[in-house]
Chains A and B, each alone.
Chain A
Amino acid sequence: MLSKGLKRKREEEEEEEEEEEKEALAVDTWWLDSDHPAVAQAPPAVASSSLFDLSVLKLHHSLRQSEPDLRHLVLVVNTLRRIQASMVPTAALPPVPSLPAAPGMADNLLASSDAALSASMASLLEDLSHIEGLSQAPQPLAEEGPQGRPIGGAPPSLGSLDLLDPATGCLLDDGLEGLFEDIDTSMYDSELWAPASEGLKPGPEDGSGKEDTPELKETELKDTELDYLMDVLVGTQALERPPGPGR
């Protein structure tokens, strides 16, 4: 049960702060050293917030792949949702419309309590569908904000879904530009690649892109660049081939 996880976490909450740094180092070490030695120790007493951060890091890392491994991504996202569900106390739930009773209760609580997280993950996955296989990571993620934060010692300045450079653990100053830098868009400069008018779904990038997070306001995204990249996304999506005639 989820309660089992909660119990463990509360017992070790005191150790959490001391262990936090070690956990962070361990995670950083893992990112830096691809020959990280085999699991040699018994698992440290992992507090949920560390596990949450680890999962977020994994999510980012997965998305930064030129073509994310969908299975890995889905499993990490589902695990992240589970962790978050266990971290949010019932009292802190934002007001929600009336929920159906009992069996689906947990799922509904999850859905409503982490609405902001869901929205950002939703936009992540929606983006994936539009840019199936495209090498960009999606647009700026909605800031989770303090309401989603766990009890405990996570650094308050770190929004749960802020973009981190996985190698150093530092916030990416250049935000989205860092994510897009690998893409050579010179081939898209030709007029042949102008977006078609048919079959375009309204991109959620439009919506979530506007939600500037306090941290990301510092980044210097030029609107023109963003518009250009949007055109590229929309244009290439129109050229996507359907999977087969049986559909």
Chain B
Amino acid sequence: MDGGGVRAGELRGAGGGNDIQWCFSQVKGAVDDDVAEADIISTVEFNHSGELLATGDKGGRVVIFQQEQENKIQSHSRGEYNVYSTFQSHEPEFDYLKSLEIEEKINKIRWLPQKNAAQFLLSTNDKTIKLWKISERDKRPEGYNLKEEDGRYRDPTTVTTLRVPVFRPMDLMVEASPRRIFANAHTYHINSISINSDYETYLSADDLRINLWHLEITDRSFNIVDIKPANMEELTEVITAAEFHPNSCNTFVYSSSKGTIRLCDMRASALCDRHSKLFEEPEDPSNRSFFSEIISSISDVKFSHSGRYMMTRDYLSVKIWDLNMENRPVETYQVHEYLRSKLCSLYENDCIFDKFECCWNGSDSVVMTGSYNNFFRMFDRNTKRDITLEASRENNKPRTVLKPRKVCASGKRKKDEISVDSLDFNKKILHTAWHPKENIIAVATTNNLYIFQDKVN
């Protein structure tokens, strides 16, 4: 079924093996190796149509890329993503009460579905969530009576006739304006935001609490989960991620540092401290170590588009859970099992605490997550094949097919394989995103954003 043209919405076969070939498309960001701290990408997110791609960075900025309209003549590639809007979402703040600096780093961006000409997104740092409106302006009024075209005011006594100002076309301008600021509701660091399927409310989660907001109301929020113990000495677990179910507006899940996922139903009670379901896989006794808990800590949880499954990412693996089965995942994929024997060193250099994200493709048939050495991995749920690819500026010309990579865990290293000891643990891919409809992926290295797409003949 290898068509000649590109039809939007037609999803080809799967991620691994011969069915799909991933090609380099674009890379955004500075070329030099000296990475400015502020440029470190901290979140990546496609909007609901896939036309827009947003990134947030450590400097508090949001950059939105827009896909060009498909060029019907140039059928060998899909539209490129170009900068659409850049704005400073969050500034560094100082909490005078606690003598603390609040980082401006953008932890998460989530898009609202489009309702009119403007686009809306939520962006959050550790403490404050903001609703941004991104709108286009391509006309401006001209012909004022009291103002010159350059803006200077005219002396009213010189006005002898009146005219009606008219709108004339102008160069496209994209404006971002903050429409709501949701502040002062989180004592701890916000790790997640998730918009409800009712498109009226959303949740924000920090280490110990989850709050429910209405998008229109900024001066209050409802606390729906609170795991802070009465005595902090009893604290042994924190919330690591939370997400609303894509279809059931009363259902959400949150994951913990102990590797558990709790599904909650907001209809059951106002404070959802009692879960409806608890998802946890018993520990494999043969793999037990001092680091068992750390590596079981879940760094990301994502529902499938269908809402039937959810995916979790812990340090070494990706797990797919059926919402109807709590005692174990239905699928487990090893991301970099060769690191299991290196856990002590990874604990020493704190890499073991890295928080990798994961994502589904549009049809829920393939999942993707990042690793070290700028590698990222895809797992095809149907064929059970997996592939490792690298985001690198070397050997990457447009429409170059990416070569699969392989890590050699031990023993003789074959040609083109990389040994574990040669991996660069400073080059980590924590954030990835998959276009909701097409085989286009966005992969963030430390300060660069790579866009790959499948090969189109």
Minimal Cβ-Cβ distance residue in A for B191? A71
* A-B residue pair count with CB separations less than 8 angstroms: 151
Known A-B contacts A71-B240, A79-B291, A134-B100; the reply to A129 vs B232 at CB < 8 A is: yes
What's the minimum C-beta distance from A104 to chain B, rounded to whole angstroms? 15
Check A125 against B232 for contact (C-beta < 8 Å): yes
Chain B contact-residue range equals: 35 or more
Known A-B contacts A74-B237, A79-B293; the reply to A39 vs B425 at CB < 8 A is: yes
CA distance A209 to B101 in the complex (A): 27
Minimal Cβ-Cβ distance residue in B for A40? B421
Answer whether residue B341 sits at the interface, using C-beta atoms and an 8 A cutoff.
yes
What's the minimum C-beta distance from B11 to chain A, rounded to whole angstroms? 36
Selected contact of A4 from candidates B220, B288, B423, CB within 8 Å: B288
Selected contact of A245 from candidates B220, B285, B423, CB within 8 Å: B220
Answer whether residue B95 sits at the interface, using C-beta atoms and an 8 A cutoff.
yes
Selected contact of A187 from candidates B96, B189, B347, B422, CB within 8 Å: B96
Selected contact of A66 from candidates B100, B291, B297, B344, CB within 8 Å: B100
Known A-B contacts A66-B100, A134-B100, A236-B98; the reply to A39 vs B346 at CB < 8 A is: yes
Interface string of B322-350 (1 = CB under 8 A from A): 00000000000000000001111111111
Answer whether residue A69 sits at the interface, using C-beta atoms and an 8 A cutoff.
yes
Known A-B contacts A246-B224, A247-B223; the reply to A79 vs B95 at CB < 8 A is: no
Check A54 against B347 for contact (C-beta < 8 Å): yes
Answer whether residue A38 sits at the interface, using C-beta atoms and an 8 A cutoff.
yes
CA distance A184 to B98 in the complex (A): 11
Answer whether residue B364 sits at the interface, using C-beta atoms and an 8 A cutoff.
no
Chain A residue numbers with a CB within 8 Å of B349 are 30, 36, 38-39
Chain B residue numbers with a CB within 8 Å of A75 are 257, 293-294, 297, 353
Check A30 against B348 for contact (C-beta < 8 Å): yes
Answer whether residue B238 sits at the interface, using C-beta atoms and an 8 A cutoff.
yes
Check A43 against B343 for contact (C-beta < 8 Å): yes
What's the minimum C-beta distance from A166 to chain B, rounded to whole angstroms? 13
Answer whether residue A41 sits at the interface, using C-beta atoms and an 8 A cutoff.
yes
Chain A residue numbers with a CB within 8 Å of B372 are 38
Answer whether residue B188 sits at the interface, using C-beta atoms and an 8 A cutoff.
yes
Chain A residue numbers with a CB within 8 Å of B236 are 74, 77-78
Chain A residue numbers with a CB within 8 Å of B290 are 5, 51, 79, 82-83, 86
Answer whether residue B401 sits at the interface, using C-beta atoms and an 8 A cutoff.
no
Check B95 against A126 for contact (C-beta < 8 Å): no
Minimal Cβ-Cβ distance residue in A for B235? A125
What's the minimum C-beta distance from A173 to chain B, rounded to whole angstroms? 24
Answer whether residue B233 sits at the interface, using C-beta atoms and an 8 A cutoff.
yes
CA distance A86 to B207 in the complex (A): 28
Check B426 against A38 for contact (C-beta < 8 Å): yes
Check B232 against A133 for contact (C-beta < 8 Å): no
Answer whether residue A27 sits at the interface, using C-beta atoms and an 8 A cutoff.
yes
Answer whether residue B185 sits at the interface, using C-beta atoms and an 8 A cutoff.
yes
Check A236 against B97 for contact (C-beta < 8 Å): yes
CA distance A247 to B226 in the complex (A): 9
Answer whether residue A151 sits at the interface, using C-beta atoms and an 8 A cutoff.
no
Answer whether residue B91 sits at the interface, using C-beta atoms and an 8 A cutoff.
no
What's the minimum C-beta distance from A213 to chain B, rounded to whole angstroms? 20
CA distance A126 to B228 in the complex (A): 11
Check A243 against B291 for contact (C-beta < 8 Å): no
Answer whether residue A7 sits at the interface, using C-beta atoms and an 8 A cutoff.
no
Chain B residue numbers with a CB within 8 Å of A200 are none
Check A133 against B98 for contact (C-beta < 8 Å): yes
Check A43 against B97 for contact (C-beta < 8 Å): no
Interface string of B30-57 (1 = CB under 8 A from A): 0000000000000000000000000000
Selected contact of A246 from candidates B223, B350, B421, CB within 8 Å: B223
What's the minimum C-beta distance from B301 to chain A, rounded to whole angstroms? 14
Answer whether residue B199 sits at the interface, using C-beta atoms and an 8 A cutoff.
no
Known A-B contacts A30-B349, A126-B233; the reply to A70 vs B207 at CB < 8 A is: yes
Within 8 A of B (CB), among A122-145: 122-123, 125-129, 131-135
Known A-B contacts A41-B345, A126-B232, A134-B98; the reply to A74 vs B257 at CB < 8 A is: yes
CA distance A134 to B95 in the complex (A): 10
Answer whether residue B442 sits at the interface, using C-beta atoms and an 8 A cutoff.
no
What's the minimum C-beta distance from B150 to chain A, rounded to whole angstroms? 47
CA distance A158 to B226 in the complex (A): 38
Known A-B contacts A132-B187, A243-B187; the reply to A54 vs B224 at CB < 8 A is: no
Minimal Cβ-Cβ distance residue in B for A86? B290
Minimal Cβ-Cβ distance residue in B for A136? B99
Check B232 against A135 for contact (C-beta < 8 Å): no
Answer whether residue B83 sits at the interface, using C-beta atoms and an 8 A cutoff.
no
Check A244 against B220 for contact (C-beta < 8 Å): yes
Answer whether residue A26 sits at the interface, using C-beta atoms and an 8 A cutoff.
yes
Answer whether residue B313 sits at the interface, using C-beta atoms and an 8 A cutoff.
no
CA distance A41 to B422 in the complex (A): 9
| 13 further A-B pairs in the complex, CB-CB below 8 A; given A42-B341, A44-B345, A123-B233 | A26-B348, A39-B351, A70-B189, A71-B240, A75-B257, A75-B294, A78-B293, A82-B293, A126-B233, A132-B188, A133-B187, A187-B96, A236-B98
| A interface with B by C-beta (< 8 Å) | 1-2, 4-5, 26-27, 30, 35-36, 38-44, 46, 51, 54, 58, 66-67, 69-72, 74-75, 77-79, 82-83, 86, 118, 121-123, 125-129, 131-135, 183-184, 187, 236, 239-241, 243-247
The 6 closest A-B pairs by CB, nearest first: A122-B233, A129-B232, A246-B222, A38-B425, A246-B223, A43-B344
A-B contact pairs, 19 of them (CB 8 A): A39-B346, A40-B421, A41-B421, A43-B341, A46-B344, A54-B347, A74-B237, A77-B236, A79-B290, A79-B291, A86-B290, A125-B233, A129-B231, A135-B100, A183-B99, A241-B184, A243-B187, A244-B211, A247-B223
